[in-house]
Chain A
Amino acid sequence: MTGAASAVFLLDMKGRVLVWRDYRGDVSSAQAERFFSKLMDGETDPSSHEPVVYDDGVTYLFIQYNNVYVMTASRQNCNAASLLLFLHRVVDVFKHYFEELEEESLRDNFVVVYELLDEMMDFGYPQYTEAKILSEFIKTDAYKIEMTTRPPMAVTNAVSWRMEGIKYKKNEVFLDVVESVNILVNSNSQLVRSDVVGALKMRTYLSGMPECKLGLNDRVLLEAQGRATKGKAIDLDDIKFHQCVRLARFENDRTISFIPPDGAFDLMTYRLSTQVRPLIWVEAQVERHSRSRVEYMVKARSQFKERSTATNVEIELPVPSDATTPAVRTSMGSAVYAPEREALLWKIKSFPGGKEYMLRAKFGLPSIAAEETLPEKRPPIRVKFEIPYFTVSGIQVRYLKIIEKSGYQALPWVRYITMAGEYELRMI
């Protein structure tokens, strides 16, 4: 049940080792080759390979980022979830350090890479992955390092995500409530599934060690406090908190209390799986005239209140890969053919609630076709949009209290926005 990684490898796209760190002395650098040949073994394209690869007693867990494979090798029954997540965190830390993680940036910073790998994992056990705090004592610019550098208290503290002694002239907090709407509509125009994933994104610029308390219109909390809900309270399905939030306290009395990290982070995410009416509905009628042309008639309808307006709407309509000579008319916005995406992109800058717009398009098709009729790829219609000042869930931040022992007044700013997440409407 316990188990640790034996080594962490950073490989280029050809499987060559850029940097590797051996933690347990039971694997060698040759493991990279074995992993890579196993990865290339399959008929499938490596990017669609399972992230767990087994070969001769060694398990490789890997992720790909840009032109780099980040991989661990292990001989034990290690915690796969933890190690894969750790690899993602390693990527985050490197991104924080080098702005972009790619082959070149690793080579350019291999000394720091080694130092970080030494600090983030010990004997194959993940240790510490807070990029901000790490950069307090592992720096890229060597001249800044003086011998007085000590591990920040945060590394071992209960509050492992925030340094002490932070100072701001103006103490401010920005809170963005962002809701992504995911929907899946099948080819019979039935809404198969829909959910809303919300995130409270915070940017804090606060001095000292501020104690924060966030109040939401959470039905469970309000009812527990015996307040009248007046239909404003909401049910959140599954809430996930940043590690700074005291989970035991939340479990007890639904209070969201925390000492925030400095800067930007996701305070919480939540999910709402109640049926949501698709905010923008798209219907496409397709007329295929085999070997000559294909015609589309697309209707897009906004199904939210008139006082809200969707912005930056983009409807991606898939078309055959061999389509040519587009002829398009729209009743609103503009449409461009994007052959590299095998799609027609219909963009509408501003789409008020309760409106319906149309698009008609015609494409030519080649008169000759391959003998064998393989099934075509049938991507769904995809939609992107943003609706500011609006949330599907009706979530409201009732208060954000900030108390610091120096007694300063901090200003919280709250914004709401809804946007399309995985918004797919399958075509016939």
Chain B
Amino acid sequence: MQQRRTIDQIHTNRVLLNGQLDTPKWWAPTVIVLGIIVAIGFFLIGIMVNKGLGVTGLSRPVYWGLFITTFVFWVGISHAGIMISAILRLSQAEWRRPVTRAAELLTVFSLLTALLFPLMHAGRPWRIIYFILPYDFARGIMPNVRSPLIWDPVAISTYLTGSTLFLYIALLPDLGNLRDRTTGWQNALYTILALGWRGNPRQWKLQTVGGILLSALMLPIFVSVHSIVSWDFAVTPAVEGWHSTIFAPYFVIGAVHSGVSAVVTMMALMRWLWKWEDFIRPEHFDALARLLIVVATGWLAFTFLELLFAVYGLDAPELELRDMQIFQWPWNLLFVTFLFTGYIIPVGMWLQKSVRNNIALMFWSSLFVNIGMWLERFMIIVPGLARKTPFVYTWEAYRPSGLEWFILFWSLAWVTFLMLLFSRFFPLVPLFEQKESQTFGDSIKIGRVRVPAIVREAD
């Protein structure tokens, strides 16, 4: 698993900074195309705000639909960053190193995207802004702190702030590196951003302590964010299928599943697009796939418990809901797709070592996971609303409008667009982590065998 590869630092610098110093040819056209899609999306959101939410397919009682699903989806994806960089950092997994930055970046941009969805999904978005900025002390009406919709922005913005800081701290050494290799306005930019980084022991120490402290502090936030998102649903006994105690950990582990899969997708793309074969190697995919098998199986156990204890009460409305969710058209198709793409196909593939070391297969299997995980959220949110209570008069189906679908795909383009913009100015693979892993990797000789070894601080 641990192939030792000695890569000298000059090579590392040259290759990993190619996005900034030697921008690839495909970059500009791709960004322009994505930019057009992004602009159209913003235009459509403008139309929606202007005309009203009638342009969506929402109804009564399906008051929440595709947008909230997508919101949960992006919050889920955002769990990749802290999972990779904080948890694996604290547990000292070496193979995390080349993907930490990309994962944190995914966290920041997917959170930014996630935040847009509840905003545009509100009936009067401008009122939300009015209510929060400036904070409404004048009328003596505070926001209602009992509402999970207040916990949400608090948790997410804390997470966003923390992740951004985390990203920035990890970026400092590389910014110093870039500053020394650029001229003109770029040099000026990096000089400001690098905050006088020279790489002396004190700075390294501060940078490391900052990183470790943030890792530890971010962990509770990491857990709380998706728990709170899950409580948006779970605190509501009125909706069958929402009021389950398992939701918080179920959502968190599902988020890790989809987030880490998204990181795998991104790693494959990075390897292909920037030709970083030396740095993002099959062993990294292998390690992530092993982690994913464990996470996915844990997640499946939660899914099983959720379903089992939904039926456990033997309440007629709940049984009716589950019957629809699993056996009735078209939900049965979605359910089967969800099960196969979310677990059976990808985990079945990852169990084979040949797949774990095959970048193309890993790319496709990780895409499958996120299709499945999006469907999971959809299957949780919408059927419960459509079959809300015993009052059959108000049972309704939900068919998302074209605009909703477009905005869903727009959000994908938007995140990619942001990532590509970032990659033009900042390295996606942390150079210093790469070099540190070279320092930490070693081997020991036992008898006639040479065993790869890792340097640990005295503990």
> Do chains A and B stick together as partners?
no
**Residues of A that sit less than 8 Å from B by CB:** none
